[in-house]
Amino acid sequence: MFKFKHVFVLVLTTLIFVIGLAAAFGQSSSAQTIKFTSEMHTSKNLTYNGTIKYYVKSDAKKYTPEITYATKKWNNALGKKVFQRTNSISRSRLVFTGTNKLGASYAGVAEINSGVIALNTSWMSRYNQQKRRAVVIHELGHTFGTKDLYEYPNASLRSLFKAQTIMGGNYATSIKPFDKKLAKWSLKKTRSMSQTEFRHYRSNTGLYYQQMLNGRL
Ligand SMILES: [Zn+2]
């Protein structure tokens, strides 16, 4: 049996906890209160000589405004032109494609081995501009080596990340101090691939790049 008073106290405590943690994301000075852990990143990122040259395949050209917006946002946040567009697919470390062959629950997917961001056209066509931008910003976040924070093992942090962070899938289009710090930290904790390693992945038929070229993505 629940007594009203107890419920009230519980709700109040939860609220303070949530608001307290939420405040930690607001300002750069307090963003450090959330500890970065190895559960937040993979082993590698898509940079090569400090940049990620990206190519927009014809089926993703309709998302060029969102891609331009998202890459600029990250470049500004990182204070560096990490993302640079190229018209040479073979010189790219990242290729954007638009596809309807992704699982229905994915609005977009980033594949960090062969360097592909696949945008799910059925979601993208339903989303408004703000959400389309947010999807691209989130997927670009993976290219730094960051994992999805909506899968973070700790439950209370996970729900906080979901509500407050780009990599938690909050659909934000502004990059907050926490998002920026996480990206920089991921870049530091992960490695970039040599050309040999990267080309090895690009020739792997099981990976997105080859699937895409063969019309399976
Ligand atoms: Zn993700």
Kindly state the tokens that stand for 160.
Answer: 């906080």
Q: Write out pLDDT tens, residues 23-43.
A: 555 544 444 488 999 999 999
Task: Collect contacts of 158-165 with beta carbons under 8 A, ≥24 apart.
Answer: 160/18, 160/21, 160/22, 163/22, 164/22, 164/25, 165/25
Q: Name the least confident of 11-15, 38-42, 152-156, 160-164.
A: 11-15
Q: What sign for the dihedral angle of Cα 171, 174, 175, 179?
A: negative
**What is the CA(19)–ligand 1 centre distance, in A?**
25
- Give 86 Cα–ligand 1 centroid separation in angstroms: 24
Measured in Å, residue 147 CA sits from the centre of ligand 1 at: 7
Q: How far is the CA of 33 from the centre of ligand 1 (A)?
A: 23
Output the pLDDT for position 1: 47
Min mean pLDDT across 17-26, 63-72, 146-155 is at 17-26
Q: Say which amino acid occupies 193.
A: M
Summarised one tens digit per residue, pLDDT across range 136-147 is: 999 999 999 999
Ion ligand 1: residues, Cβ under 5 Å:
148
pLDDT of residue 24: 57
Q: How far is the CA of 96 from the centre of ligand 1 (A)?
A: 15
Ligand 1 centroid from CA 129, angstroms:
19
Q: What is the mean pLDDT of residues 190-217?
A: 97
At 110 the pLDDT is 98
Q: Which segments within the chain are labelled E, that is strand? A: 44-45, 52-56, 83-85, 94-99, 108-111, 116-120, 191-192
Selection from 120, 178, 169 nearest residue 149 by Cα: 169
Q: Which amino acid is at 165?
A: T
User: How high is the pLDDT of residue 33?
Assistant: 80
Q: Give the architecture (CATH level 2) of 38-213.
A: 3-Layer(aba) Sandwich (3.40)
Ligand 1 centroid to residue 30 C-alpha, Å: 25
Q: Which residues contact 122 (CB under 8 A, 6 or more apart)?
A: 100, 104
What would the mean pLDDT of 75-94 be, rounded to a whole number? Answer: 98
